[in-house]
């Protein structure tokens, strides 16, 4: 009788990758390295989230298998190696080391998403914090958001309805504040999140926006806790299909703006220009001012992302 061929599994891939690696790896790094080694095609899987499947299989094997060859080296971020390998915390590198594009290259992707997303439907403006003079190093990074946005209600209602809303003192406009980061992991979570708290809590809604999010359940749990405590939301960008970017955690709405912070932000010429343009457009009830450019379709956004080496 012919011996049945053993199926190649997620754990087989993990073991092969970790044998070749001289440093502990995150689940995402294991999957990416497995792809580079040509091992992905050996796995018979039709799931839409194979990285999540690999993570689940790995955790279960470590938890339930007394003879597991794997072990967890660190928790922030969670990294894995093979038992018996001599590794140290110093050998654990960042999740993404080679960034070939600038953080501000992501702004146009965010502008495109929030323009078409039903929750926002807003126009945006990039704020260059370095234009604001201040003696203390790092001061401006923790005061100024990367991007601000505004939703104009006259895009939603007729003029008669807008007049009625004014009579009832209904807050018709919403201001948004966004802090942009290339990648988010447990190692930089608190710094990045509280930077967003510092420079985005003045708005009606504030968000931390990330391109890459480490595949770590502990990270997501902590994000949910911080979101619940401080109200900052989280957006995950999708450069391949920008319309499919997602609001991972909804921001808590602030009914009142922080006018003291807004007054300090007015020192920045970009923010001051944004407010002046906003006021002018409100007067004429039309968007006439110049805001950040955005893509009108996913294909253009994807082409841009590839040209900028975001993909």
Report the alpha-carbon distance of residue 20 to residue 22 in Å, rounded: 7
Same domain, 21 and 132: no
Same domain, 112 and 259: yes
Same domain, 119 and 222: yes
- Please tell me the predicted confidence (pLDDT) of residue 89: 44
Same domain, 179 and 79: no
55, 79 contact by CB (below 8 A): no
- Please tell me the predicted confidence (pLDDT) of residue 36: 85
Same domain, 114 and 18: no
Report the alpha-carbon distance of residue 73 to residue 90 in Å, rounded: 11
Q: Is residue 200 part of a domain?
A: yes
Domain end call among 67, 91, 115: 91
Same domain, 161 and 290: yes
Domain end call among 61, 91, 121: 91
- Which CATH number is 37's domain given? 1.10.10
Q: Is residue 224 part of a domain?
A: yes
Reduced to 3 states (helix: H, G, I; strand: E, B; else coil), residue 281 is helix
Per-residue pLDDT of the chain (311 residues), as tens digits, is 455 557 889 999 999 999 988 888 888 889 989 888 889 888 887 777 788 888 888 988 888 888 999 998 876 577 889 988 765 444 444 444 445 789 999 999 999 999 999 999 999 999 998 887 764 444 556 788 999 999 987 555 555 555 555 544 445 789 999 999 999 988 889 889 999 999 999 999 999 999 999 878 888 999 999 999 999 999 999 998 999 999 999 999 999 999 999 999 999 999 999 999 988 888 877 777 789 999 989 999 999 999 998 98
Phi, psi of 245 (to 5 degrees): -60, 160
Q: Where are the beta strands (DSSP E) in the chain?
A: 70-75, 78-82, 123-126, 147-151, 174-184, 205-213, 233-236, 246-249
149, 178 contact by CB (below 8 A): yes
pTM listed for this prediction: 0.67
Domain end call among 91, 115, 149: 91
Report the alpha-carbon distance of residue 142 to residue 196 in Å, rounded: 8
Structural domains in the chain (count): 2
Instruction: Look up residue 40 and give its two tokens.
Output: 């992905």
Instruction: Look up residue 264 and give its two tokens.
Output: 């300090």
Q: Is residue 261 part of a domain?
A: yes
Order of strands, edge to edge, in the sheet holding 147-151? 123-126, 147-151, 174-184, 205-213, 233-236, 246-249
User: Range of 59's domain?
Assistant: 10-91
The length of the chain, given as a count of residues? 311
Q: Which residues pair with 212 in a beta bridge?
A: 183
Instruction: Look up residue 132 and give its two tokens.
Output: 């604001």
Which residues, in sequence order, are CB contacts of 266 under 8 Å at separation 6+?
Answer: 272, 275
Same domain, 195 and 302: yes
- Please tell me the predicted confidence (pLDDT) of residue 20: 87
Same domain, 116 and 60: no
Same domain, 132 and 273: yes
Cis amide bond preceding 77, omega within 30: yes
Same domain, 83 and 122: no
């Amino acid at each position: 009788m012919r011996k049945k061929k053993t199926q190649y599994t997620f754990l087989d891939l993990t073991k092969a990758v970790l044998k070749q690696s001289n440093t502990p790896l995150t689940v995402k790094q294991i999957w990416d390295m497995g792809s580079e080694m040509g091992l992905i095609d050996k796995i018979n899987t039709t799931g839409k989230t194979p990285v999540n499947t690999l993570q689940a299989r790995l955790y279960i094997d470590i938890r339930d298998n007394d003879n597991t060859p794997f072990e967890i080296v660190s928790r922030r971020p969670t990294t894995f190696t093979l038992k018996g390998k001599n590794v140290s915390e110093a050998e654990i590198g960042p999740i993404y080391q080679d960034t070939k594009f600038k953080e501000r290259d992501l702004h146009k992707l965010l502008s495109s998403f929030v323009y078409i997303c039903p929750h926002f439907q807003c126009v945006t403006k990039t704020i260059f914090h370095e234009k604001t003079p201040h003696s203390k190093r790092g001061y401006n990074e923790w005061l100024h958001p990367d991007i601000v946005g505004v939703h104009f209600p006259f895009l939603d209602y007729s003029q008669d309805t807008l007049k009625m809303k004014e009579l009832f003192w209904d807050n018709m406009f919403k201001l948004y504040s966004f802090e942009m980061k290339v990648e988010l992991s447990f190692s930089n979570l608190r710094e990045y999140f509280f930077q967003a708290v510092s420079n985005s809590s003045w708005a009606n809604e504030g968000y931390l926006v990330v391109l890459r999010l480490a595949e770590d359940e502990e990270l997501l749990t902590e994000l949910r806790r911080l979101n619940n405590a401080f109200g900052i939301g989280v957006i995950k960008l999708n450069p391949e299909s920008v319309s499919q970017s997602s609001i991972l955690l909804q921001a808590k709405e602030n009914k009142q703006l922080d006018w003291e912070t807004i007054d300090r932000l007015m020192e920045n010429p970009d923010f001051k220009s944004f407010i002046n343009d906003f006021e002018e457009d409100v007067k004429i009830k039309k968007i006439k001012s110049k805001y950040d450019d955005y893509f009108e379709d996913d294909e253009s956004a994807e082409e841009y992302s590839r040209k900028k080496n975001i993909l």
